């Protein structure tokens, strides 16, 4: 199957002609075949003469081919209509129109025989629809960039769309980059996040990609079709693998805190038997670099490749097996971006069975799948350039601009923070809006973001009122979140700190006396305000305050509802 593109000749050289020539030049680099069209007085041709000209233009076309027509040809709409009819009669599978300038047409309804119409600006798109091409699926893209790779991507999107996602030839093929996701979508919102990562991957590569979606029955039909559409717009491929969640559940404590979808990656080596390499991606990533550069990394001597985990560098979390020296802290990697040598992993054993065994022996593991991968493959992992997995919360404090050749990881950040939005977060918004979900998914996120901000403002206003002539009691861990609270709501004389049951921070914290919870029980109601962290003592801290007759937003305030997301606050 070949793809053909028209190019105009015999017209005065102007910006329109130059643009058509440039698009055709770039198309030839992609392997397109040119259909040369000469401007001539077509109205003087007899039917037989016109048919002869069309035969000459289409001589290289074969059944099953695709054709891209750049308009206007300079020969009028009737000529273009007959050209479309000729191509369709020869068995052309898809016809795409690139309308560079609709001003030469009064009515374009004759051209409805095409599958797709490409326009370069919103004005042109609206004009084309008014002139009769409203029935043709339209797609906006730019061809005037000086960057040839952008024009190439647009041409691929213009010619390989939707149906290509079902083409079996791209699946399990060495010619395709193989990428996998785990997808558990209890609320119906998670699939959009996966779609956004896919969109960002495909916008930044010219390579064909086959996406493997490991999911359970929470993936609904509408979201599945939108994934297919998002992938198909770029002429890439997608394959769905339904899994049984019961295979992953157990008595391990992670079930309470983590989505079951994080475990789906553990079954990938077993299911994808025909593959020896695979890229695994989390659903909270944004690619601003070519994934082919990752795919081309030689890991023949390694089990996998990943980026060192920044959180461990900062000493925030430390698994017991790392503290004990079983796994090197300096080599502990984040599992959000993995290039996996499936053959090497399989030699170690079945990844799911190994991980379940690890979790049974390490019930206190905080990051179940990531800890298991580090336990078994830490010493055989290739550590990648850190720009393959850049944590957004740290990047935000260092570089607010969009950087080239970076993969952003919005780890622990389910929504964009409206408190101080930066350029790479805006780019994430734009990418999400470019998916098949369009504005639908983005609208919910915008609403959630502003609702979260409004809740914080409401809590702060009520807290200011409640604190008048009352002492403040800070109840929680002395961690980054509490330190931010103490920075905002500075303690004064008489204020004190209450630590959770089973913990003690000595006698003083930032000049305040420290007590156990019994101290609050001894206080006279109405004389104090408590700022409390909700995840204390098996999440019973709020219940303990309420058992004393204290009211939320009057006698006590929940600390994450006073802070923005990056400060340790709730995201929604």
Digit-coded pLDDT (tens) for 241-256: 988 877 665 545 544 4
The answer to whether residues 252 and 163 touch, using CB atoms and an 8 Å cutoff, is no
The answer to whether residues 66 and 3 touch, using CB atoms and an 8 Å cutoff, is yes
Distance CA 496, CA 111 (A): 77
Instruction: Tell the residue number behind the tokens 């609206």, with chain if given.
Output: 126
- Equal fold, 3-159 vs 163-433: no
Residue 342 has pLDDT above 50, yes or no: yes
Write out the two tokens for 504.
């003690």
Q: Mean pLDDT over residues 273-281, rounded?
A: 94
For 107-146, give one letter per residue: b (16+ CB within 10 A) or e: ebebbeebebbbbbeeebbebbbebbbeebebbebebeee
Distance CA 473, CA 486 (A): 11
Fold of 163-433: Spore Coat Polysaccharide Biosynthesis Protein SpsA; Chain A (3.90.550)
More confident site: 265 or 398: 265
> Mind listing the pLDDT tens digit for each residue in 147-161?
777 778 777 766 765
C-alpha closest to that of 326 among 368, 284, 360, 371: 371
The answer to whether residues 39 and 10 touch, using CB atoms and an 8 Å cutoff, is yes
CATH 3.40.50.80 holds for 3-159: no
Strand arrangement, sheet containing 508-509: 508-509, 512-515, 496-498, 471-475, 528-532, 556-558
> Mind listing the pLDDT tens digit for each residue in 357-373?
888 887 767 677 888 89
- pLDDT of 539 reads 63
Residue 496 has pLDDT above 80, yes or no: yes
Which helix (H) or strand (E) covers residue 228, if one does?
helix 221-232
C-alpha closest to that of 33 among 89, 81, 92: 92
- Cα–chain-centroid distance for residue 110? 40
DSSP output for 114-173: SSEEEESSHHHHHHHIIIIITTSEEEE-----S-HHHHHHHHHHHHS-GGGGG-GGGTT-
- DSSP lists the bridge partners of residue 497 as 474, 514
Residue 169 has pLDDT above 60, yes or no: no
Question: pLDDT above 90 covers what percent of the chain?
Answer: 40
Write out the two tokens for 355.
């991980």
Distance CA 189, CA 183 (A): 11
- pLDDT of 123 reads 84
Write out the two tokens for 418.
């409206």
Give the least confident one: 74-88, 474-488, 529-543: 529-543
- pLDDT of 135 reads 66
Nearby residues of 150 by Cβ (< 8 Å), 6 or more positions away: 142
Fold of 447-567: Rossmann fold (3.40.50)
Confidence of residue 413 (pLDDT cuts 50, 70, 90): low
Confidence of residue 183 (pLDDT cuts 50, 70, 90): very high
Q: Can you give the residue ranges of every domain in the chain?
A: 3-159, 163-433, 447-567
C-alpha closest to that of 320 among 361, 356, 353: 361
Distance CA 148, CA 379 (A): 42
- pLDDT of 41 reads 85
C-alpha closest to that of 327 among 381, 384, 375: 375
Q: Mean pLDDT over residues 102-120, rounded?
A: 87
Is the peptide bond preceding residue 72 cis, with omega within 30 degrees of 0? yes
> Mind listing the pLDDT tens digit for each residue in 430-453?
898 888 887 666 666 677 777 778
C-alpha separations of 547 from 42, 189, 516 in Å: 89, 36, 16
Write out the two tokens for 558.
């929940």
């Amino acid at each position: 199957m070949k793809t053909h593109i028209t190019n105009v000749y015999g017209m005065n050289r102007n910006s329109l002609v130059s643009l058509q020539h440039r698009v055709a030049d770039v198309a030839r680099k992609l392997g397109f075949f040119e259909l040369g069209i000469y401007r001539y007085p077509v109205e003087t041709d007899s039917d037989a003469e016109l048919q002869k000209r069309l035969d000459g233009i289409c001589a290289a076309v074969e059944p099953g081919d695709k054709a891209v027509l750049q308009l206007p040809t300079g020969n009028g709409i009737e000529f273009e209509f007959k050209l479309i009819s000729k191509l369709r009669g020869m068995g052309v599978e898809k016809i795409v129109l690139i309308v560079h300038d609709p001003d030469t047409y009064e009515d374009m309804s004759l051209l409805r025989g095409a599958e797709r119409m490409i326009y370069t600006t919103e004005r042109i798109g609206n004009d084309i629809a008014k002139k009769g091409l409203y029935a043709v699926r339209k797609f906006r893209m730019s061809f005037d960039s000086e960057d040839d790779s952008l024009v190439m991507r647009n041409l691929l999107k213009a010619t390989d769309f939707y149906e290509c996602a079902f083409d079996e030839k791209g699946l399990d093929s060495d010619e395709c980059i193989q990428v996998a996701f785990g997808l558990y979508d209890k609320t119906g919102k998670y699939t959009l996040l996966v779609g956004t990562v896919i969109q960002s991957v495909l916008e930044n590569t010219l390579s064909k990609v086959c996406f493997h979606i490991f999911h359970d029955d929470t993936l609904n039909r509408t979201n599945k079709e939108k994934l297919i559409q998002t992938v198909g717009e770029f002429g890439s491929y997608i394959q769905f693998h339904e899994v049984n969640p019961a295979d992953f559940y157990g008595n391990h404590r992670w079930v309470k805190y983590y989505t079951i979808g994080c475990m789906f990656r553990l079954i990938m080596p077993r299911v994808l038997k025909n593959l020896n390499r695979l890229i695994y991606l989390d659903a909270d990533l944004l690619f601003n670099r070519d994934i082919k550069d990752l795919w081309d990394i030689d890991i023949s001597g390694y089990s996998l490749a990943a980026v060192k985990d920044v959180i461990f560098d900062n000493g925030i979390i430390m698994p017991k097996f790392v503290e004990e020296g079983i796994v090197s802290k300096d080599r502990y990697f984040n599992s959000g971006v993995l290039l996996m040598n499936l053959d090497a992993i399989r030699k170690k054993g079945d990844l799911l069975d190994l991980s379940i065994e690890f979790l049974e022996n390490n019930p206190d593991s905080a990051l179940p799948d990531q800890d298991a991968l580090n336990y078994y493959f830490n010493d055989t992992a290739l550590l990648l350039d850190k720009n393959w997995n850049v944590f957004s919360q740290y990047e935000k404090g260092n570089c607010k601009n969009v950087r080239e050749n970076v993969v952003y990881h919005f780890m622990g950040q389910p929504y964009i923070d409206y408190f101080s939005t930066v350029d790479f977060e805006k780019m994430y918004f734009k990418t999400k809006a470019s998916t098949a979900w369009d504005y639908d998914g983005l609208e919910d996120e915008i609403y959630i973001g502003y609702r979260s901000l409004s809740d914080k403002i409401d809590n702060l206003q009520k807290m200011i009122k409640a604190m008048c002539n009352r002492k403040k009691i800070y109840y929680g861990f002395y961690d980054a979140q509490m330190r931010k609270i103490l920075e905002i709501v500075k303690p004064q004389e008489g204020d004190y700190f209450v630590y959770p049951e089973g913990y003690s921070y000595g006698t003083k914290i930032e000049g305040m006396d420290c007590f156990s919870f019994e101290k609050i029980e001894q206080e006279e109601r109405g004389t104090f305000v408590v700022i409390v962290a909700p995840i204390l003592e098996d999440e019973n801290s709020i219940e303990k305050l309420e058992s004393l007759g204290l009211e939320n937003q009057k006698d006590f305030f929940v600390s994450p509802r006073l802070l923005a997301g990056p400060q340790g606050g709730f995201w929604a």
